[in-house]
Structure 1
Amino acid sequence: MFDIGQDTDFLAHEPAPAQEVYSFEHEDGPGPSREFLAFDLSRSATSPWNSTILEILLREFQKTCTDEKWAIKRSDNYVRELLKNRYKKLHTVWLKGQPKLLRDGRLETEEEVEARLLAEMDRQAKASRQATRRRNKYTRRVTTLNHVVALKIEEGDSDVAVWEWLSCLIKTLGEDGMSSEESAVENQIEHVLRVKQMEWRRCINHELDIIDTQRLLDDDIFARQGAKPVKRIRAHDNPESSRDALFGLPMAFYDGAWVAGLSQRQLDALNVSWDTFEWMKVATT
């Protein structure tokens, strides 16, 4: 209805003229219609003007549902709440695109607004890429461990308990317990990923190396298609992760020095689990 393909297109939405909104709400003005759909972006979804637009959209939605004989029919109240939430999100997008007051007392220029929005989009895209890498990393490790444990049990190997422990370690940490990575170029040629440091998490580089090395050894676990794995570098001068520490883990998962530096209030907020997790020293040959 608004000819937008994605949320950012709503930045160009022209708000309804204030005089027409006032005339509709306080005099006898015509108000919005199907042919004139322009939100009053100075107000919430519940204002008389915006509520009228949402009712128009509601009627259009339900008419389409009936005309096209959709399999699922939703109540007016259900659809109305969806429309309100949609407006709230688009309203937030539009507000971000408005000039902001700078520290020197002047308003942003169009160029400064565009630069700020591009920087925000870049930040969100970077965060999305890092979240995807964490998710993929967690999935690969869990898949590797499930495969190895099943194989060890089948063959009756004596070290099955070690791999079960490693599996428990990764699954307890979960996806959010995996480190993020930042793209970099090494020697001006090779694309690498620098693993961000997580000061709150106990150092488990040794355990992670065992799992990741096993994945490379058992090349039948994953399909050969896809991009070649990128080199990952762990180093003390890598950047720190900006994500907050996970709460609710057993104490064994937290770095001792980091915990010692917390105030009592911070320690209470960490909500450490009462579950015990016996640490195992894993040796490799």
Structure 2
Amino acid sequence: MQIQSFGRHLLTVATGRNVEFVTHDSADPIDVHSYEFEDGPGPDSDALVFDMMRNANSPWNSAIIDLLLQELRTRSTEENWPTVRSERYLRALLVDRYKRLRMTWRKAQPKLTKHGIVETPAETEARLIEEREEVLKLSRRTTRRRNKFTRRATILEHIVKLKTDEGDADAAAWTWLQDLVLRLGEHGASSEESDVENEVEGVLRVKNMKWRRHIKQELDIVDLQRFLDVDTFSPQGSRPMRRIRAPGNRESGRTPVKGLPIALYDDAWIKGLSQRQLEALEVSPVNFPWMKVAVV
């Protein structure tokens, strides 16, 4: 029965790889109306077709979910699945899959252009490619930001332990830097976008975060250790790209991190907030004394 292959497809297709589903034909509106209001036969178990214009809770789509749920139950018994899941869990899984597939399908439908004309197939394809590229670009930025935070945290953990064990005079400064980076966290690290300098060199332009205190000097001290202490921090992998921090770089569009000590926010930015915006920021009452860092 086709319900079996369709059920497997619905369960196994992954988000972001639903390209084959964009050509799925929506159920005939006449059949849907007949089932809902005129005691029509409903979805054909040998040729399941979702009503893509409606959500998973519509009578037509809910009937398909029931059929797929029945198929899952049969498979779990025949294949002796090691973990028995409740009907409620499996239904939620199917509904979630349908939501994702429907989202993919809707994005792939022709839209009106700025001139009020329906997209041609070529224009729809170009839009989907552009949207996909934007998602991938965002993913790369997120990965770089996460890796940058993890690298700094690792460097500081090692240096603080080393300095503390040896009783170095600048141990307190390194501990303060560690506290600074950990308080800001991953989301307090600047995003970066790729660029080409002088039409030759690939660089990363660090986006400005107008809400965050200017800490270029402090972060440069941490990042420099990766290159100074090559015995500890092996430069494996791809060659690090040069990062350019400049007032003219684009501003980050990410939401300011909430709950930080007041010292970690830009003073001018804070003063420009309304009382309601300041309250929504949920500034931490914890005091974070600023330190002029001098390390060796």
Quickly name the TM-score band, shorter chain normalised: over 0.9
Residue matched to 1:98: 109
Task: Please say which of residues 186-195 and 64-73 is displaced more in the overlay.
Answer: 64-73
Hey, what's the Cα distance between the residues in 2 that align with 1:219 and 1:278?
A: 32
1:276 aligns with 2:273: no
Which residue of the partner structure matches residue 126 of structure 1? 137
**SS of 1:84 mapped into structure 2:** helix
Structure 1 residues 100-109 or 252-261, which shifts more?
100-109
Does the 8 A contact of 2:170 with 2:294 survive in 1? no
Q: Percent identity?
A: 53
- How many residues are aligned here? 285
- The 2-side partners of 1:31 and 1:246 are apart by 50
Report the Cα offset of residue 224 of structure 1.
4.2
Supply the distance in 2 between the matched residues of 1:170 and 1:79 (Cα, whole angstroms): 42
Among candidates 207, 224, 239, match of residue 213 of structure 1: 224
Distance 2:196 2:108 in 1: 34
Normalised by the length of structure 1, the TM-score is 0.94
Q: Aligned in 2, Cα 1:218/1:64: closer, same or farther, shift over 3 Å?
A: farther
Whichever residue aligns with residue 88 of structure 2, its letter is N
Are 1:24 and 2:35 matched, yes or no?
Answer: yes
* Of 84-93 and 38-47, the range deviating more from structure 2: 84-93
1:115 aligns with 2:123: no
Contact 2:145–2:186 (CA under 8 A) maintained in structure 1 = yes
Residue in structure 2 matching 1:164, options 158, 175, 178: 175
* Correspondence 1:197-212 to 2 at 5 A: 197-212=208-223
Whole-Å Cα distance in 2 between the matches of residues 8 and 269 of structure 1? 40
Partner of 2:92: 81
Equivalent residues of 2:204, 2:244 under 8 A apart: yes
Alignment-derived partner of residue 74 in structure 2:
63
- Which deviates more from structure 2 when the two are superposed, residues 93-102 or residues 196-205? 93-102
Q: Which runs of 4+ in 1 moved over 6 A?
A: none
The corresponding residue for 2:202 is 191
1:45 aligns with 2:88: no
CA distance in 2, matches of 1:278, 1:9: 56
Q: Which runs of 5+ in 2 are unaligned?
A: none
Match of 1:135 in 2: 146
Q: 1:146 to 1:284 in 2, by over 3 A?
A: closer
Preserved CA contact (<8 Å) 2:22 2:104 = yes
- CA–CA distance in 2 between the matches of 1:224 and 1:213? 12
Corresponding residue of 1:233: 244
* TM-fit CA distance, 1:63: 2.1
TM-score of the aligned structures, taking structure 2 as reference length: 0.90
What CA distance in whole angstroms lies between the structure 2 residues aligned with 1:18 and 1:275?
60
Alignment check: 8 A CA contact 1:102 1:108 kept: yes
Which moved further from structure 2: 48-57 or 169-178?
48-57
Amino acid at match of 1:239: R
Q: Determine helix, strand or coil for the equivalent of 2:68.
A: helix
